[in-house]
Amino acid sequence: MRKNAVLIVAVIAIIAAVVGIKVAVDEASGVSPPFTVVDSQSMQHSHDSEVGIIDTGDMILLRDTSKHEPVTYVEGYASGYRMFGEYGDVIIYERTNQNQVIHRAILYLESNGDGTFSGRGLEYYTDADGNPLWYCDGSTDSSKLSGILSLYDVGYGGKTAEINLSRLSGSGYLTMGDNADTNTNFDQALGIVSGLVTEDSIKATAWMELPWAGSVKLIMNGNDSALNSWAPSSIWYLISAVTTVFLSVIGVGFALDTLHLRKAVKGGH
């Protein structure tokens, strides 16, 4: 009877812990649902899944921008702030009648209202010798940008990204996927999104990574080809992680049961 009571208490404790974690995550996130599953390779740094990098099959916990304003790559470069293996924050933004995009915020451009833009923090985007890592053919003043803007040495692949500012209007973020092979330029230059990513179109910032946790959803949705093509190791890492957790739980349960039996034997004497 005592053993059954202990089991019931353990089950109730587990349920309470799960509910408590959900409530805490919802509150800290401020977004519903508080997660998204990655189904493309655009943020990967290699063909293999890596912890700390956003890969195909990862589940990403989200945070509302009211709780954390996005830090751009350019700003992070100057301050040392990094998320998911690169400077700056990763944002999830919405497109009209299309799927959401999870890419890195690179530079915030504020319209001056006269066809020029101010690049927030761009004056600090320099190399170790203080030389600018950017060039604009219409102006050398980061607060009066016009013409073609180029950023150099962006990301782990050292990409050069360019955009014709005359194609843009309003204020917002230039964005880009981390993948140096598939995402070689700004989203705005590649046609992934037609204009700057405005604050209103940002759903959330990426907060935490649950490696491989979204693989099951991709498989259930018939999108396992994405895993096979871009992160073939994800499902095996997930299986290994689940197996490890399962065996650990079994081991703890066995240890507690053994301890209970020993106490019962001592009590009998």
Backbone angles phi, psi at 154, to 5 degrees: -90, 125
Length of the chain: 269
Rg of the chain taking only CA atoms, in angstroms: 24
Q: What domain range includes position 46?
A: 31-245
Same-domain pairing of 122 and 16: no
Same-domain pairing of 38 and 90: yes
Same-domain pairing of 10 and 87: no
Q: How far apart are CA 260 and CA 255, in angstroms?
A: 9
Same-domain pairing of 101 and 142: yes
Burial class (CB in 10 A: 0-12, 13-18, 19+), 14: exposed
Question: Domain for residue 47, yes or no?
Answer: yes
Q: How far apart are CA 87 and CA 125, in angstroms?
A: 12
pLDDT of residue 203: 96
Same-domain pairing of 61 and 179: yes
pLDDT of residue 252: 52
Q: What is the pTM of this model?
A: 0.81
Question: Domain for residue 64, yes or no?
Answer: yes
153-165 residue pLDDT tens: 999 999 999 999 9
Question: Domain for residue 85, yes or no?
Answer: yes
Q: How far apart are CA 57 and CA 141, in angstroms?
A: 42
Angstrom CA distances, 97 to 27, 94, 101, 193, stand at: 29, 9, 12, 12
Same-domain pairing of 13 and 138: no
Angstrom CA distances, 78 to 65, 71, 128, 174, 205, stand at: 21, 11, 11, 17, 20
Q: Which residues of the chain have pLDDT under 70?
A: 1-7, 9-11, 18, 21-26, 28, 222-269
Question: Domain for residue 138, yes or no?
Answer: yes
pLDDT of residue 258: 55
Question: Domain for residue 17, yes or no?
Answer: yes
pLDDT of residue 216: 77
pLDDT of residue 133: 98
142 touches 119 (CB < 8 A): yes
DSSP 38: -
Same-domain pairing of 94 and 223: yes
Same-domain pairing of 40 and 21: no
Same-domain pairing of 138 and 22: no
pLDDT of residue 239: 55
Q: How far apart are CA 25 and CA 27, in angstroms?
A: 5
Same-domain pairing of 66 and 47: yes
Question: Domain for residue 74, yes or no?
Answer: yes
Query: In the chain, how many domains are there?
Result: 2
CA angle 65, 68, 71 (to 5 degrees): 100
pLDDT of residue 70: 97
Strands (E), the chain: 35-37, 59-63, 82-83, 86-87, 90-95, 98-111, 117-119, 134-136, 148-154, 159-164, 172-176, 202-210
Residues 6+ apart with CB under 8 A from 187: 101, 103, 174, 175, 176, 177, 193, 197
Same-domain pairing of 19 and 81: no
pLDDT of residue 13: 72
pLDDT of residue 246: 52
Question: Domain for residue 48, yes or no?
Answer: yes
CA angle 103, 205, 97 (to 5 degrees): 60
Same-domain pairing of 20 and 80: no
Question: Domain for residue 158, yes or no?
Answer: yes
